[in-house]
A and B are shown apart, each in its own frame.
Chain A
Amino acid sequence: MRILLIEDSSRLRQGIAKAFRCSGYAVDTAADGEEGLWLSQSNSYDAIILDIMLPKLDGLTLLKRVRENRQQTPILLLTAKDTVPDRVIGLRTGADDYLTKPFALEELLARMEALCRRAYRSSTNTVSIGPLSIDFATRRVQIHGEELKLTHREFRLIEYLARRQGAIVSRTDIESHIYDEHVDPMSNVVDATVYILRKKLNKANCPPLIHTRRGLGYIIEFLPTH
């Protein structure tokens, strides 16, 4: 999952980004509204965390512009403004959720998970594909009930594919959603990760689930004939 964090307090920005990376997210950050708007329009994000009091372009104006561009990316407002009118304005401007500072980290993580679930129109945190079972909340993967250890990157990849099971996902999409700005988009890290993932699944006696569609991308699905 790739998220965009727009927060001008450097400590908060770094702290939240660190927490989300530790939780397996790819995180892009912006320190002001203009940079945040540019990033939101340049990349595809699963969700955005947005502060209201931003330099150069305030959060509510940024939010308005994102919605005017018909971007449906789920947005959580993270702000010190906590009055009811502030919340109402924020939600009516187009935010999907509102969290005031100071906040509990677990709550922020949980709300972001909920936003991402909604983005994928899923009401649960688990997905099953054949013998493969993925719990997004606990970040656990099981095959035939046996836990499969994956790295962060591998989990992000399988999570991204599993949330879109049965749909072809292009390499570009995968790159933009699971890798943050720190990864060179020209590298073959996606192919390499798919290769490693297939190997691990095979070793765990899992039938092939990740299929290549030449020229199009990858698809994850269980074909019972195999």
Chain B
Amino acid sequence: MTGTVFFLLLVGFVVLVFLFRDEMYEQIDVNLSNTMQTLCVEVEEYIDDANWSSICDEVRELESAGILSHFWEVRKSKGHMICGSDFEGVNSSEFSAKVNVDKYHSFYLKNGKHIRTLTKRIPLKSETFLITIGADQEEFDEAMARFLIIAIITVILILFLTLILISLILKRGLRPLSAFGNHIASIEVESLNDEFDMKHFPVELHPFGNHFNTLLKRLAASFERERRINADIAHELRTPIAELRLSAETALKWPKSRDGMVDRETLAIAKQMESTVEHMLALARSEGGNLVSIPEEIQLDLLIKDCWKPFSQRSLQLQQIISVESSDLTLETDPYLLQSILRNLFENAVCYTPKGGTINISTFYNPTGELSISVTNTVSDLTTEDVEHVFERYWRKEASRAPEGNHLGLGLAIVKTFSQANGFEAKALIPQSGWFSIVLTAIRK
């Protein structure tokens, strides 16, 4: 930036100097030209007669009258000087050697004088004569020198002021950015909710700041979700760990009270913890976008029956009434994801349907022609308000535990995310009082 400014100033300075010099020269040249014209007019009548004596006298008269205040010379074109002014010790041959005919010409003489000349050619009957007038450029040189000094000083001052001004403007202009940067540097995990107060920043930074605030909100939500997940995991694993510990400590303290049930219970607890961790990992993977759906053609009714098998015994024990209506349909979907979805739905249905209740599993085409899979069961206490929460992780109607075993409230959260990854939309509804339904609808691409 400074270099550019300096370069521009230098170029400007040089241009100015040349312009000034040319202007000065123009004034001298006009003066020389006018003087030459006057001279030519005065000697015109003598030229035709080649009356050189009269010409010289006329020119000397003009010089004496102060009209011609320049150096002058009349000479033959072939070098012979007829008459001229006193050049103050200047050798006339040196003077004449340096002049240019019909042109303005500046040069230095041996005595150091700076002269600008104009030479006019006067053609006569048999030969050509040259009249040369010259102006002393001493004043011109002095004026140029003064101009140069002033210009240089001005340029230096301008450069100096520019540097200071640029520095001040930049500092002032960058202050909001610096404040912005300081605020960003001070952000920590605990202060993600501290948004930028855009009132303190210039309007130009508002879009930037607003986007940043949005990003901070998303980051805060993400951290909060992670904190909650970690807290939930810790919370959910505490009880099975407490059960294991209690079982082991009781067996150690009262060895005689130990029986086969203890080992069976220990195994059951371990399996429950394993299931807990697997559910949590599955959900974390699905929410992290790491699920990849690899579709292949499957027989939907066979898959449904296959997934229902592990639950049929338990359902029978609970005297639940089961109905499976699934047509012979071929579907292109990821079978592993769909299996996981269906197992979670069936687990949920069997667990939360009251003893003697009903579970209906069916496949159908909805009015818009999309394939749907529905799992509907009777419930004892679910309301329309509850339906809004069923897909939330760890949500359970009773904040403690489900009647059968320990349910984390992750099954339907997994159903939701797995469905999204597998091209289904999962919806929960209360079709009528006392019933709860989850419907998966294949999304058309």
Contacts and interface: CB of A to CB of B under 8 A. Distances in A.
Given A18-B257, A22-B253, A101 B239 contact: yes
B401 A19 contact: no
B368 interface: no
B98 interface: no
A16 interface: yes
B400 interface: yes
A105 B243 contact: no
B245 interface: yes
Nearest to A79: B238
Interface residues on A, range: 20 to 34
Nearest to A56: B398
Contact of A15 (B246, B398, B400, B406): B246
B250 A11 contact: no
Interface in B232-286: 235, 238-239, 241-247, 249-250, 253-254, 257, 265, 269
B1 interface: no
B399 A58 contact: yes
Given A8-B400, A11-B265, A80-B235, A102 B242 contact: yes
Contacts of A54: 400
A100 B234 CA distance: 12
A68 interface: no
B250 A101 contact: no
A9 B237 CA distance: 13
Contacts of B242: 12, 80, 101-103
A142 B238 CA distance: 42
A54 B238 CA distance: 15
B265 A53 contact: no
Contacts of B254: 19, 22
B399 A12 contact: no
Contact of A19 (B238, B243, B250): B250
Contacts of A192: none
Contacts, number: 71
Contacts of B406: 9
Given A55-B401, A105-B246, A19 B239 contact: no
A15 B401 contact: no
Given A11-B269, A80-B238, A101-B241, A19 B400 contact: no
B400 A55 contact: yes
24 contacts: A9-B239, A11-B246, A11-B265, A12-B243, A12-B246, A15-B243, A15-B246, A19-B249, A19-B253, A22-B254, A53-B400, A53-B401, A80-B235, A80-B238, A80-B242, A100-B238, A102-B241, A102-B242, A103-B242, A103-B246, A104-B245, A105-B245, A105-B249, A105-B250
B253 to A, nearest CB: 7
Nearest to A59: B400
A106 interface: yes
A122 B188 CA distance: 52
Contacts of A9: 239, 243, 401, 406
A116 B406 CA distance: 32
A106 B243 CA distance: 14
Contacts of B400: 8, 51, 53-55, 58
A19 B398 contact: no
A187 B243 CA distance: 35
A202 B241 CA distance: 48
Interface in A98-142: 100-106
Nearest to B245: A102
Interface in A139-178: none
A116 B249 CA distance: 22
Interface string B385-413: 00000000000001111000010000000
Contacts of B245: 102-105
Given A55-B400, A102-B246, 11 more contacts: A8-B400, A9-B239, A9-B243, A11-B246, A12-B239, A15-B246, A58-B399, A80-B239, A101-B241, A104-B245, A105-B246
Contacts of B235: 80-81
A100 B254 CA distance: 23
Contacts of A58: 399-400
Nearest to B265: A11
A81 B234 CA distance: 10
A11 B243 contact: yes
B238 A104 contact: no
Contacts of B246: 11-12, 15-16, 19, 102-103, 105
A15 B241 CA distance: 13
Contacts of B238: 80, 82, 100-102
Interface in A11-55: 11-12, 15-16, 18-19, 22, 51, 53-55
A22 B249 CA distance: 12
A32 to B, nearest CB: 8
A54 B242 CA distance: 16
Contacts of A22: 250, 253-254, 257
Nearest to B256: A22
Contacts of A105: 245-246, 249-250, 253
B229 to A, nearest CB: 16
Contacts of B243: 9, 11-12, 15
A56 B398 CA distance: 8
